Amino acid sequence: MIFGRSERGKPPVEPVTLKILVAGGFGVGKTTLVGAVSEIRPLRTEELLTEAGRPVDDTSGVEGKHTTTVAMDFGRITLREDLVLYLFGTPGQERFWFMWDELSEGALGAVVLADTRRLEDCFAAVDYFERREIPFLVGVNCFEGAPRYPVEDVRQALDLDDGVPLMMCDARDRESVKEALIGVVQHAMAYAADRRQTVAT
């Protein structure tokens, strides 16, 4: 880049920035997902779990977890020269859900992470985005040792509309996470186009 222009003589591209939320239950892998794909050092607001929180923090199934997100995780990924995603990981525990309204302001869409060992933990996130008509994709995080089920069985268990994408993903794997993010962007664009067409007719 020389004096604000690229070396090939083209003006620099001003990228479109989009906001994507990463939601789901406590310990489902939201912080891991943001960290796996972010091209900057992720901003994390994690605190140690304490004895005081034991009565309200359900750690069954994630007994090895010692920290929790209390506000948000933040990361950034450039998908193309002209497309940058800002990722906001929401807190998973019910006592921090008041943050969701702030974080969802202006969001294009969301990835709802699910764990087949604690599938009910993502119901609140699914309901939240359905009620607010924010397009979302469900990513089933493939934990080691977690039972694997056919996609349609998981869809039925979550009572998802046919139009909601559902895919298997690994929150630790950059390429797997990128596929999920591309999926939610494509879904959100199709969702917006459908709504425009509905309004036009």
CATH code of the domain in which 110 resides: 3.40.50.300
**Residue 23's closest CA among 118, 136, 116?**
136
Contact 148, 116 (CB under 8 A): yes
Note whether residue 104 is domain-resident.
Answer: yes
Note whether residue 129 is domain-resident.
Answer: yes
pLDDT tens, residue order, the chain (201 aa): 443 444 566 677 789 999 999 999 888 999 999 999 999 988 876 555 445 444 544 555 555 545 555 457 999 999 989 999 999 998 866 666 677 888 899 999 999 999 999 999 999 999 999 999 999 999 999 988 888 999 999 999 999 999 999 999 999 999 999 999 999 999 999 999 998 888 877
Measure the CA–CA gap between 26 and 23, rounded to whole angstroms. 9
pTM for the predicted model, two decimal places:
0.79
Note whether residue 105 is domain-resident.
Answer: yes
Note whether residue 195 is domain-resident.
Answer: yes
Measure the CA–CA gap between 17 and 14, rounded to whole angstroms. 9
Note whether residue 153 is domain-resident.
Answer: no
Q: How many structural domains are present in the chain?
A: 1
Measure the CA–CA gap between 83 and 15, rounded to whole angstroms. 5
Structural domain of 173? 16-141+166-200
Quote the strand ranges of the chain, DSSP E.
16-24, 43-48, 67-80, 83-89, 109-114, 136-141, 166-169
Note whether residue 113 is domain-resident.
Answer: yes
Note whether residue 156 is domain-resident.
Answer: no
Note whether residue 23 is domain-resident.
Answer: yes
